[in-house]
Amino acid sequence: MAETKWVMKDKRWSLHGMTALVTGGTRGIGHAIVEELAEFGATVHICARNQDDIDKCLEEWKSKGLNVTGSVCDLLCSDQRKRLMEIVGSIFHGKLNILVNNAATNITKKITDYTAEDISAIMGTNFESVYHLCQVAHPLLKDSGNGSIVFISSVAGLKALPVFSVYAASKGAMNQFTKNLALEWAKDNIRANAVAPGPVKTKLLECIVNSSEGNESINGVVSQTFVGRMGETKEISALVAFLCLPAASYITGQVICVDGGFTT
């Protein structure tokens, strides 16, 4: 009996036999998520815009004994999103357990300075592509019998920050979409949750910090965290992996902040 109990417990804390797609998986938080899921036993597919970046990461993960594949996809293109899901369906034999919508972009400006092109680029990458990718992934997630979607949101979608208005709008939309999707797809045994990081050490954040307006905004956020520092990518990927585990099977429709206390 004791042995059976431990076997069951191990299964609750394992992703062995499960499949995952992580968008934007070659750098930053996405890179950490790929490693975390693969270390828990999942077979992972990533997409990114640059083949060289993909190849470099795949070689790195292969050397670590992680089971990861990858393909090029510009998520702003509807046809490429459809093609991505065809590739994933073929590799994973028509079933997908985990979808992590991580890819994102940002342009920091004052509200009066944003152009229509800026808005389209940010909303297209951060929300429209995510919405459509979920739509085309639905059959694969449903057929897995136990699907989990994790959206990488941001505290900017919950609290007003200077020069982040369009990015914040895209993440606010993502947060609400998380809840609606969790409601509508629960009947298909698909869960949906969002992880909202505070400032995390990534190349994207470095670009923002390098601008005078962005630097002021980020430093303001860091100074308001309880822990007084930026987060590490592994501190985000740990929660993402947990939300994908069988142990988290009763958690859905939630937006969870990982921000050192910033939004508290």
| pLDDT confidence of residue 213 | 63
Categorize the per-residue pLDDT at 178 as very low, low, confident or very high, splitting at 50, 70 and 90: very high
- Catalytic residue status for 131: no
| pLDDT confidence of residue 10 | 77
Question: What pTM does this model have?
Answer: 0.92
| pLDDT confidence of residue 103 | 96
Q: Mind listing the pLDDT tens digit for each residue in 198-225?
A: 999 887 667 666 666 666 767 788 889 9
The CATH superfamily label for domain 15-258 reads NAD(P)-binding Rossmann-like Domain (3.40.50.720)
Q: Which tokens go with 209?
A: 């910090």
110-113 long-range Cβ contacts below 8 angstroms, 24+ apart: 110/163, 110/213, 111/165
Question: For the chain, what is the largest distance between any 2 Cα atoms, rounded to a whole number of angstroms?
Answer: 66
Q: What is the mean pLDDT of residues 183-205?
A: 93
Residue with tokens 């995510």: 130
Phi, psi of 18 (to 5 degrees): -100, 155
Say yes or no to pLDDT of 159 above 90.
yes
Q: Mind listing the pLDDT tens digit for each residue in 14-71?
A: 999 999 999 999 999 999 999 999 999 999 999 999 999 999 999 999 999 999 999 9
Categorize the per-residue pLDDT at 3 as very low, low, confident or very high, splitting at 50, 70 and 90: very low
| pLDDT confidence of residue 2 | 42
Catalytic position from the list 114, 131, 167, 250:
167
Residue with tokens 């009066």: 112
Categorize the per-residue pLDDT at 7 as very low, low, confident or very high, splitting at 50, 70 and 90: very low
Q: Which tokens go with 170?
A: 């895209």
Question: Is residue 184 packed enough to be buried (19+ CB in 10 Å), middle (13-18) or exposed (0-12)?
Answer: exposed
Q: What is the mean pLDDT of the chain?
A: 93
Amino acid of residue 243: L
Q: Are 233 and 28 in contact, with CB atoms under 8 Å apart?
A: yes
| pLDDT confidence of residue 208 | 65
Question: Is residue 25 packed enough to be buried (19+ CB in 10 Å), middle (13-18) or exposed (0-12)?
Answer: buried
Q: Mind listing the pLDDT tens digit for each residue in 103-151?
A: 999 999 999 999 999 999 999 999 999 999 999 999 999 999 999 999 9
Q: Are 23 and 35 in contact, with CB atoms under 8 Å apart?
A: no
Residue with tokens 């990015």: 167
| pLDDT confidence of residue 212 | 60
Q: Give the three-class secondary structure for 20.
A: strand
